[in-house]
Homo-oligomer: A and B are copies of this chain.
Amino acid sequence: MAFTFQINDDVVFNHDERLLAKAEANRPVLKQRVIQPTRLVDIVADEAGLNGYVAVDNEQDVARLTDYPQGRDGSLVLDFGDHQVGHFSIDIDSVGSPMDAPLYLRLKFAEIPAEIAADSAEYDGWLSKAWIQEEYIHLDTLPTHLELPRRYSFRYVELKVLDTSPKWQTVFSKPQVVAESAVEATDAPTVQLADPQLQKIYDISVKTLQDCMQTVFEDGPKRDRRLWIGDLRLQALANYATFDQRELVKRCLYLFGGMTTTDGKIPANVFTAPQLTPDDTFLFDYSLFFVSILADYQAQTNDRAVLDDLYGIAKKQIQVAAQKVDPQGALRLDDAWPVFVDWSNDFNKETAGQAIFIYTLKQFITLAHLVNDEAVVEYETLLAQMTRYARETLFDDQQQLFVSGEDREINVASQVWMVLAHVLDDNQNALMMQKMVAQLFPITGIATPYMYHHVVEALFEAGQTKAAVQLMKDYWGKMVDLGADTFWEAFKPEDPDFSPYGSPIISSYCHAWSCTPAYLIQKYL
């Protein structure tokens, strides 16, 4: 998640210390693993590679790194064999005459080969260039053991010697990363699938999830490195299907529950360092997904204590959202509190928003029954109104598809979310999904695995298993074909090199909301 821009710096937040203490009590101890690079590579222009570059074996032996001293403008690219999230260190020495100038070194950490090839100075997008994983370092004396204090997300590391002096060169040895995650690969049961392509998709989605599971569920370990509620919902589902590390979900629920606005709203994301801080971004669907995450957690764990702690906050999300529903049962949003649905703003989101509210309202009603909330009737009434409005006004009987907005736009998101919300019956859902595939596929203009996830899940929910699997293969499978070690924040199959930020050095190639194939395969296949 990123790509959403709001400033609401006048909003006042609660800090519920009791709930936040529970969040802290469930903070995981990160598991560490020391990993060495597997080879030295050259980054070579190649149309077949993502953004036009691939990494190819070079003739040098990574075990004999000290045989390759480097002077001004010399560089080595280490390949760590797979995507890694952690802390990098390396030993550095000089050879030749005594060291008569500092060493000036640039280290670049890259999730994909094209990031090494990209010139950071040319990046001019709106998203902060501070995210570029590149460090300039002066070392006044050698030998030294260089331990970088920051965490990086990468597979490749370029060691570029900006300068030594004409009298000596730099030698490197013992590069390593201490990889970190709240879980280890072996914490998830091994799954053997008959279909080798699905197996690859499954394994990479688990690796993606693992690398995003840190002291919170991060959206991306490269960027933004923080807890977004839309990502969390999908990560929690994938986590239940794999690592089943429940404490981390609990922690994240308490983090959101402990930091609502004074009028009760949950922010779209929170920061946890240097101190717990809610962001000032608010998205209608993201606030509601707190209900969804709590309901999913409850269904998975039956953890009544968490439900008792957080039910009131979940209810508040419904209450605040309900204020946006008119007497006819129509959701009427304004710009101050937009619905996200997907990054793109090139489609009408009204009907998808209505469906998401219905989806979460149903989950809320389940919870309300569990806690014997007498007010449940009120929400059942609201559900009925919103469902009726959806069926009677938003559904176009002639086209047998949902329309959205004044211009009665027919788009993918509306159909998908209405299926997920089960507003129509199973037969109608099946027909609707078939019509969607016939009319709106192949999909264009959707750039996020987040939206593709919902499309695939809706196909599964509507019994269109074959189409669901095909779409999963066409989408995540194509990332695999393009060399993905983990799944990406953004991907348009019709334009593989697309970056929402204009450069691969800012894009996140290990992003939480793309990790769901493991969940989808476990649940539906």
Chain A residues in contact with chain B, CB under 8 A? 5, 7-9, 72, 96-104, 121, 126-132, 135-136, 138, 140-143, 150, 162-167, 223-224, 226, 271, 273-274, 277-280
Contacts and interface: CB of A to CB of B under 8 A. Distances in A.
B138 A130 contact: yes
B98 A271 contact: yes
Contacts of A138: 130, 135, 150
A442 to B, nearest CB: 34
Given A98-B277, A100-B279, A143-B274, 10 more contacts: A5-B166, A7-B167, A9-B96, A72-B128, A99-B271, A100-B128, A101-B224, A121-B121, A130-B162, A167-B280
A97 B130 contact: no
Contacts of A96: 7, 9
Contacts of A72: 128-129
Contacts of A132: 104
16 contacts: A7-B96, A7-B97, A7-B167, A9-B96, A98-B278, A100-B226, A100-B271, A100-B279, A101-B223, A104-B128, A104-B130, A128-B164, A135-B136, A135-B138, A138-B150, A140-B273
A98 B279 contact: yes
A277 B168 CA distance: 14
A121 B126 CA distance: 23
Which 5 pairs show the lowest CB-CB distances between chains A and B?
A: A101-B128, A104-B130, A136-B136, A102-B130, A141-B274
A103 B126 contact: no
A153 to B, nearest CB: 13
Contacts of A9: 96-97
Nearest to A143: B274
The interface centre, meaning the residue of A102, A226, A271 with most chain B CB atoms within 10 A of its CB, is A102
A11 to B, nearest CB: 10
Contacts of A278: 98
A279 B98 CA distance: 6
B102 A131 contact: yes
Contacts of A121: 121
Interface residue SS majority, chain A: loop
A40 to B, nearest CB: 24
| Best-buried of A130, A131, A165, A166 by chain B (most CB within 10 Å) | A130
A135 B135 CA distance: 10
Contacts of A97: 7-9, 279-280
A226 B140 CA distance: 12
Nearest to A225: B140
Contacts of A224: 100-101
A166 B126 contact: yes
Given A7-B96, A96-B9, A129 B104 contact: yes
A102 B151 CA distance: 12
A128 B223 CA distance: 34
Nearest to A8: B97
B7 A165 contact: no
B130 A165 contact: yes
A163 B134 CA distance: 14
Contacts of A226: 100
